[in-house]
Structure 1
């Protein structure tokens, strides 16, 4: 019986969870018409829109999210900063 010399590292601690990846994937999509995004949030992720936006906002500050999808995260960070300065 031969043993594999490299042990199984298990799940990557730096990887995003399935739901976190799904949130970023939803943000990459374009939505037509009012309410389409909120409907997708409820149907596809099973989340209330308020909870979705809480998770998304936390993801924007997570370096793992930036490593996973830098284009989307940087775009959303710019939008968030623009909205903050307009207040």
Structure 2
């Protein structure tokens, strides 16, 4: 999993096709298993850089979601003051 991710670091339609064709699974399942492999001790030992990148990306909110969360927090703070 980590070797495949290292070869295909960016998310694209071509990557999704390769996941289906080469790995024989749906992309959603691939990303579930990839996160699990990246979090495992074996995955960390096998390819620490790719594992760290996968985990960091998995814990990052999309920009739009982050912006919405920040504005919601600001509104809640203003109303409670």
TM-score higher than 0.5: yes
Task: Tell me which moved more, 62-71 or 42-51.
Answer: 42-51
Q: Larger RCO: Structure 1 or Structure 2 (Cα < 8 Å, ≥ 6 residues apart)? A: 1
Q: Which runs of 5+ in 2 are unaligned?
A: 70-81
Q: 1:82 aligns with which of 31, 51, 60?
A: 60
Query: Following TM superposition, by how much is the alpha carbon of 1:78 offset from its aligned partner in structure 2, in angstroms?
Result: 1.5
Contact conserved, 2:44 with 2:51, CA < 8 A, in 1?
A: yes
Q: Distance in 1 between matches of 2:58 and 2:10?
A: 21
Q: TM-score scaled by structure 2?
A: 0.65
Query: Following TM superposition, by how much is the alpha carbon of 1:57 offset from its aligned partner in structure 2, in angstroms?
Result: 1.6
Aligned length: 65
Query: Following TM superposition, by how much is the alpha carbon of 1:36 offset from its aligned partner in structure 2, in angstroms?
Result: 0.4
Matches within 5 A, 1:1-87: 23-30=1-8, 34-83=12-61, 86=66
Runs of 4+ in 1 over 6 A off after TM superposition: none
**RMSD after superposition:** 2.6
Give the structure with the larger helix fraction: 2
Q: TM-score scaled by structure 1?
A: 0.61
